[in-house]
Amino acid sequence: MTPKAPLLIVEHPVVARDLTILRNKETPSAVFRPVLNRLATILAYHALDKLPLREVTVQTPIQATKGFEIDTQVIVVPILRAGLGLVHAITQFIPEAKIGHLGIYRDETTHKPVEYYVNLPKTGLSDGTVLLVDPMLATGGSACDAIGYLKTKGVQKIRFMCLIAAPEGVEAVQQQHPDVPIITASVDEKLNENAYIVPGLGDAGDRIFGTD
Ligand code: PRP
Ligand code: URA
């Protein structure tokens, strides 16, 4: 049996408090956005764990000593549009990261992913590390589609970061892409009949961009 990729559920009092603010339907976009960014920053810290390092020598004011630099090209790929809200969380740790865009939306009737825009870096995909980001992993259709697409472009190292996952989405990614670790703040109870995460936080894109 192929081993499942790790599922990391980040547990911390600040994460629990911030998730509660995001879940609250009374939270306006003006508060939703900075709280999402704060929570995403904590997740990003974990999502970037165990990146390869190369040794360098650094001269302190006292003497030369061993130091480290990140030894992989990091590429952040937000699934548009809601994934855009998670990009800054990664780039504040890796300012030199490249950013690719994958436009995928869920058809409201079929709940199946539809690709409408792709713009990825021209170099670095095959030996870099892609952080695929989207606040919600519901059926897993969008994430699996995005991961599959990235693999057709030669990407070999992919990590998926989201705020909230449904058990169904986790299972879909683990089944179809057992090499892709998932980093999340919560695995919620289930999906409802409209394939929304229960309890979830509603439509992440609408809440980030104020389009609800
Ligand atoms: C949401 C969310 C994910 C997708 C998750 O995007 O941001 O991309 O749904 O659902 P799935 O796991 O069932 O595929 P949406 O289609 O609402 O588009 P948006 O980001 O433009 O709001
Ligand atoms: N997309 C969202 O934004 N929220 C959900 O609960 C499911 C899909």
Is the pLDDT assigned to residue 107 strictly greater than 90? no
Nearest-atom index, ligand 2, CA of 207: 3
Pocket test for ligand 1, best of 105, 164, 208 (most atoms within 8 A of CB): 105
Name the residues annotated as catalytic: 106, 110, 203, 206
- 26, pLDDT greater than 70: yes
Neighbours of 64 (CB within 10 A): 9
The yes-or-no verdict on residue 207 having pLDDT over 80 is yes
Mean pLDDT of the chain: 96
At 2 the pLDDT is: 67
Do residues 78 and 103 make contact, with C-beta atoms less than 8 angstroms apart? no
Whether ligand 1 lies within 6 angstroms of the CB of 136 is answered as: yes
Residue 109 is classified by DSSP as T
* pLDDT surpasses 90 at 106: no
Mean pLDDT, range 189-193, rounded to an integer: 98
At residue 130 the predicted structure's pLDDT band, cuts being 50, 70 and 90, is: very high
Ligand 1, pocket-test mutation among 29, 104, 106, most atoms within 8 A of CB: 106
- Residue 1's pLDDT is 62
| Domains present along the chain, CATH in parentheses | 7-48+74-209 (3.40.50.2020)
**Above 90 in pLDDT, residue 10?**
yes
Ligand 2: residues with CB < 6 A are 136, 138, 196-197, 200, 203-205
Give the helix ranges, DSSP H, for the chain.
Answer: 13-23, 29-47, 87-91, 141-152, 167-176, 204-209
Q: What is the mean pLDDT of residues 177-204?
A: 98
Looking at all shown ligands, the one closest to residue 143's CA atom is 1
Alpha helices, DSSP H, located in 138-203:
141-152, 167-176
CA of 206 to the centre of ligand 2 (A): 10
> Which residue would you say has higher pLDDT here, 109 or 96?
96
pLDDT at 150 over 70: yes
Instruction: Read off the pLDDT of each residue in 113-118 and give the average, rounded to a whole number.
Output: 90
Q: Residue 198 Cα, ligand 2 centroid: separation in angstroms?
A: 9
Residue range 154-159: mean pLDDT, rounded? 98
pTM over 0.85: yes
Q: What is the tens place of the pLDDT at every residue in 45-61? A: 999 999 999 999 999 99
Separation of alpha carbons 98 and 155, rounded Å? 14
Minimal-distance CA residue to ligand 1 atom 6:
105
